[in-house]
Chains A and B, each alone.
Chain A
Amino acid sequence: MVIQSTAPINKAKTGTRRSNFFFCLSCLLCIALATACSTYSKPDVSLVSDALLTNEDEQMLWQKSEQEQLAFENNGLIYPDPELEDYLNQVVAKLRPQSVPEDLVIRVKVIKNAYLDAFTYPNGMIYIHTGLLARMENEDQLAAVLAHELIHCTQRHALRVFRRYRDQPAFLTAVQHAMLKTKGLQEMARYLGASGAMAAISGYTRELEAEADLLGIELMTAAGYNAKEAFALFDYMISEIEQEGLEEPFFFGSHPSVRQRVDNLQNLPDPVYLKERPVIKNRKLYFAKLGQLFLDNAGLDIRLGRFQAAMRGIEKFLQIKPDDSRAFFLLGEIYRQQGQAIDTHMALKNYNRAISLDPDYVAPHKAIGLIHYKNGHHALAKKFFESCLQLSPNAPDKAYIQGYLRQCTLGEEG
């Protein structure tokens, strides 16, 4: 049986029109659903003063959360940095209200993911993405996000949503599945589980998110942080999402979600955050604790082709470690992969700096070889490719390098 590929092209415009129609319809329905969700008026559970886990449904929710976290963490998604985790947990401890029962252990872990997000499981486990941490400038901004997440947990938002919808589980599952289809996150949602997917991707109801904004600001202010920094962070995120046309799949990376955070903060009835007060900030400490994360996340941003975001991450890292060869190599990669003529010069400059800091670092040798090879400077390219194989005779990309060397030899002979 011989099969020829079908040409989808003639259908493209019709398909797009249909997509637009369904997109508009989806938007209207989303609004309808969100409005339905936001008609919620009064919490049907007592809040933090209640003893935890006295109710069967909360016990079940915690057990489910633990299972979901186990599956999630066993899949290499966690960014392993115990010192950073300690620091994040110290910030959470500063924010934690005294009224929270002692048996609610709140912990923070970092997820290796360049997208902007943070989310909380009902049992007190907060996850925050490297992408969001890398965008922050100081501890106040970190406190703003952690306080928001902490409120989801202390006010038992997951339990409240669960109780509201427990008689309609099919409804909730169907909404989640439908929403996840738009994001291309089906598999990720399975890893996160029901609680995690709701917290990380769709967010809670609009009213519960607003409550997390309001009480979060109070929490951070009470802990001595400057609530204005919450604005600064969300404003920065909005401008980055707009300028770079980011379309992110998670809650904190979605333009409407971040815009809603800013609107909620602006509409606070008592602007406690505007009062002058001594602030913590801790910018230097924040940079020192996050150092390596800035660079690692920049590597993820480069993979995503988000070169400006990556550049900013590397610049932050270089403020702490100005002589790091990998940082200069990654800068070189940003210039080379953007591929403009002027960028080639900047790429070479950064690769050479990386080599001067660490002469045995193979990657910049190869990158320089590639630039010369592309420009037809075969003798020069050959020199760099040969040094790659001398430095790393069994490099995983050996077959490619040997191919370039053969072509260089032919080029020289020709």
Chain B
Amino acid sequence: MKKYIWIILFLFAAGCAACTHTGGISKPASYSFTIDIPEGWRKIDNNRYLFVTKESPFLQYIMVQNRPIDRSFRNTKKKMKREMFPEEAAQIIIDELISDQNLVNLRILDNTPATIKGHAGFKILYTYRDSEGEVYKTLYYGFIKEDTFFNLRFTAADQVYFKRDVGDFRNILNTFQIVENEAA
């Protein structure tokens, strides 16, 4: 009986994991991107965004995403729109973060306009604490280009790794290039 229970649990967990994506099918983003990944960082495969880390995602990671603006967020029902100002897009991201049940002790340290490779966008700096008490800091850049919301974020354990690796993130930011999707 125990054997069957584990099989059931495995299938149950697999089913659940398959259901965790939010937003359903949305129109493909018209734009994609390229970046240069510095030495020592490795890519972790994910078909929704680009995810790289140096040592471990628990210590630091960089995530870059080209997201169709009509795709739903996990928490807020608000959606991005083409004509939104960077501050309005930033507000949606902050609403999403504040509504996230997994981020506790969230503190928004900074929310300012930013230019990302010539595109008017925003920059948010925030911290949060995990259940072990570790404080993480995230630097989040975002902008809307037509029907695509680009975001580039760097998250690291605040004590040592944020200061040490934020330079690599800035280097990545400098190599960021938008590419038009052929399929779109």
Contacts and interface: CB of A to CB of B under 8 A. Distances in A.
B160 interface: no
Nearest to B179: A4
Given A1-B37, A182-B19, A16 B104 contact: no
A175 B77 contact: no
A82 interface: no
A48 interface: no
Contact of B11 (A25, A113, A302): A25
Contact of B47 (A6, A188, A339, A370): A6
Given A3-B43, A4-B179, A304-B77, A26 B104 contact: no
B34 interface: yes
Interface string A396-409: 11011001000000
Most chain A beta carbons < 10 A, residue from B11, B83, B98, B102: B102
Contact of A75 (B64, B129, B179, B183): B129
Contact of B36 (A2, A13, A191, A306): A2
Contact of B102 (A29, A115, A188): A188
Contact of A182 (B20, B37, B65, B103): B20
A300 B95 CA distance: 9
B18 A9 contact: no
B171 interface: no
> In terms of DSSP, what is the predominant structure of the interface of chain B?
mixed
B158 to A, nearest CB: 16
A4 B34 contact: yes
Nearest to B79: A305
B64 A187 contact: no
A30 B36 CA distance: 45
- Quick one: which of B18, B28, B86, B113 has the most chain A CB within 10 A? B18
Contacts of B12: 25-26, 29-30, 33, 175, 178
B23 to A, nearest CB: 10
Contacts of A187: 101-104, 130-131
A4 B33 contact: yes
A90 B65 CA distance: 51
Contacts of A302: 95
Contact of A76 (B50, B83, B105, B179): B105
Interface residues of A, number: 63
Interface string A135-172: 00000000000000000000000000000000000010
A115 B130 CA distance: 21
Given A187-B104, A305-B76, A305-B95, A174 B9 contact: yes
B130 to A, nearest CB: 6
B87 A397 contact: yes
B60 interface: no
Contacts of A71: 131
Contacts of A339: 81
A396 B113 CA distance: 12
A35 interface: no
Contacts of A5: 32-34, 49-50, 64-66
A305 B98 CA distance: 12
Contacts of A179: 16
A200 to B, nearest CB: 10
A304 B76 contact: yes
Nearest to A11: B47
Contacts of B87: 397, 400
- Which residue of B14, B34, B75, B131 has the most chain A CB atoms within 10 A of its CB atom? B131
B101 A188 contact: yes
Interface in B112-157: 112-113, 129-131
A3 B35 contact: yes
B78 A305 contact: yes
A32 B8 contact: yes
Contact of A304 (B9, B75, B130, B183): B75
A400 B28 contact: no
Interface string B58-79: 0000001110000000111110
A59 interface: no
A113 B129 CA distance: 18
10 contacts: A3-B34, A9-B28, A13-B25, A19-B18, A71-B131, A187-B102, A187-B131, A303-B95, A303-B99, A305-B78
Given A7-B183, A339-B81, 16 more contacts: A1-B36, A3-B34, A3-B36, A3-B43, A12-B25, A13-B25, A16-B25, A19-B18, A25-B15, A75-B129, A171-B5, A185-B101, A188-B102, A303-B76, A305-B78, A397-B111
Interface of A: 1-13, 15-16, 18-19, 22-23, 25-26, 29-30, 32-33, 71, 75-77, 113-115, 171, 174-175, 177-179, 181-182, 184-188, 190-191, 249, 300, 302-306, 337, 339, 370, 374, 396-397, 399-400, 403
